[in-house]
Homo-oligomer: A and B are copies of this chain.
Amino acid sequence: MFSASARTQYAIRAMTNLARRPNRTATAAELARTESIPAKYLEGIMARLKVTGLVESERGKNGGYRMATDPANISMLQIVEAIEGRIKPVGCLEHEYTCAIVDGCHPRSFWLGLKNTIDTYLSEKSLKEVSEG
């Protein structure tokens, strides 16, 4: 429970690595090597980071990936959600105001509070901080 997938951990390692190369590009293979990530697997991860606009890419020879933004302006929540989608501790929270599963679902606000706590932590941590940590 509450464990981060390998995919998310890889994404974060790759991003912290990229963040330490201002303006320069790095190939997926290079990131994979220096961060001990399966190269082919990382390709798929970088794709997700790209569609969400966190990184930019250049194809062909001398291509690679580059930060799309100042790491100080990227929150860890953005990275996590780029990989996993919206954080949702329980299905219960999918509906706006009521729990569809059980009448008088007492734990609902407990789960809401948990989600809130996690979201807050993640959104207040910048990629810059983490990559320097």
Are A8 and B1 touching (Cβ within 8 A)?
A: yes
Q: Tell me the dominant secondary structure on chain A's binding face.
A: helix
Are A84 and B1 touching (Cβ within 8 A)?
A: yes
Most buried by B among A110, A117, A131: A110
Most buried by B among A107, A113, A129, A130: A107
Q: How far is the CB of A106 from chain B (nearest CB, A)?
A: 5
Residues of A within 8 A of B (CB): 1-5, 8-9, 12-13, 16, 35-36, 76, 80, 83-84, 87-90, 92, 101-102, 105-111, 113-114, 117-118, 121-122, 125, 129-133
Q: List 13 A-B contacts (CB under 8 A).
A: A1-B8, A1-B83, A2-B2, A3-B87, A3-B90, A12-B107, A13-B105, A13-B106, A36-B101, A106-B130, A106-B133, A109-B133, A113-B125
